[in-house]
Amino acid sequence: MADRKRARASRLSARDWADAALAAIRDGGLAAVAVEPLAARLGTTKGSFYWHFSGRDALVTAALERWEERETEAVIAEIGQAGTPEERLRRLFRITTAAAAREPDPLELALLADAGHPAVAAAFRRVTHRRIAYLVDLFAEHGCPPAEARQRALLAYTGYLGHAQLARSVPGTLPEGEEARSYLESVLQALLRGGRQAR
């Protein structure tokens, strides 16, 4: 048994620990990130943790970086470079509004509850700036001047946040099925109107 635990500990990566920390945050908030319970969850010892991290704060930082990677960079990578800016914006809206309309993401809700923590606040700032910058780039490629691209990006992002909040707080308010597709199309048409690519 001890040999199996040692073998498992040697195979665990920093990413495994970060993912376990994210699962703990999802289930119990930032306070749930504790080395011994995580070691038990992973079937290993604290020694594996200290192989990868200097302490709990370093693990929290790694977990937040992993969340950024999964929820922002992976989505941007999924959109890719193929197609026109309008096609990429449409893909982005389909992915993000579909995700927002599903069950509330307990991890994001838990992180929002701990948004006063300096590391969490910094992660939300980075994610927000990255997402808006990506939207600015897409609207600029669509033909909008810089100031207008930023305005449209902010409008798109605040619309996304409002959509997600409404889906969480008052389920059933947002349209579904064909009505949802028509609604999303009207939002996209308003955001895309007037760019050089649309002329």
- Chain segment 80-109, per-residue pLDDT in tens: 888 999 999 999 988 887 766 666 678 888
* pLDDT for res 50: 92
Place of tokens 């300096």: 118
Comparing 164 with 132, which gets the higher pLDDT?
Answer: 132
Is the model more confident about 97 or about 141? 141
d(CA 66, CA 43): 21
Which structure tokens are listed for 63? 């977990």
Q: Which residue has the tokens 């306070």?
A: 31
**Residues 61-67: what's their mean pLDDT?**
96
- As a whole number, the mean pLDDT across the chain is 87
Q: Tens digit of pLDDT for each residue in 19-57?
A: 999 999 999 999 999 999 999 999 998 999 999 999 999
Integer-rounded Cα radius of gyration of the chain? 20
- State the burial class of residue 116 (Cβ atoms within 10 Å of its Cβ: 0-12, 13-18, 19+): exposed
Residues 156 and 161: their CA atoms lie apart, in Å, by 9
Sequence ranges of the domains in the chain: 1-62, 80-199
How many residues are there in the chain? 199
CA separation, residue 124 to residues 20, 71, 102 (Å): 20, 11, 21
What pLDDT was estimated at residue 101?
A: 61
Q: Which two tokens stand for residue 88?
A: 């990429």
- What CATH number does the domain located at 1-62 have? 1.10.10
What share of the chain in percent tops pLDDT 90?
Answer: 57
pLDDT band at 122 (very low <50, low <70, confident <90, very high): very high
* pLDDT score, position 173: 81
pLDDT value for 199: 43
- What is the three-class DSSP state of 82? coil
From residue 101, alpha-carbon distances to 21, 33, 93, 168, 169 in Å are 26, 28, 12, 8, 11
Work out the pLDDT band at 148, boundaries 50, 70, 90: very high
Residue 169 has a pLDDT of 78
H or E, element range at 96: helix 85-101
Other beta carbons less than 10 A from residue 1's beta carbon:
5
Kindly tell me if the per-residue pLDDT of 138 is higher than 70. yes
Q: So what's the pLDDT on residue 198?
A: 46
The residue that leads in pLDDT, 154 or 192, is: 154
pTM for the complete prediction? 0.82
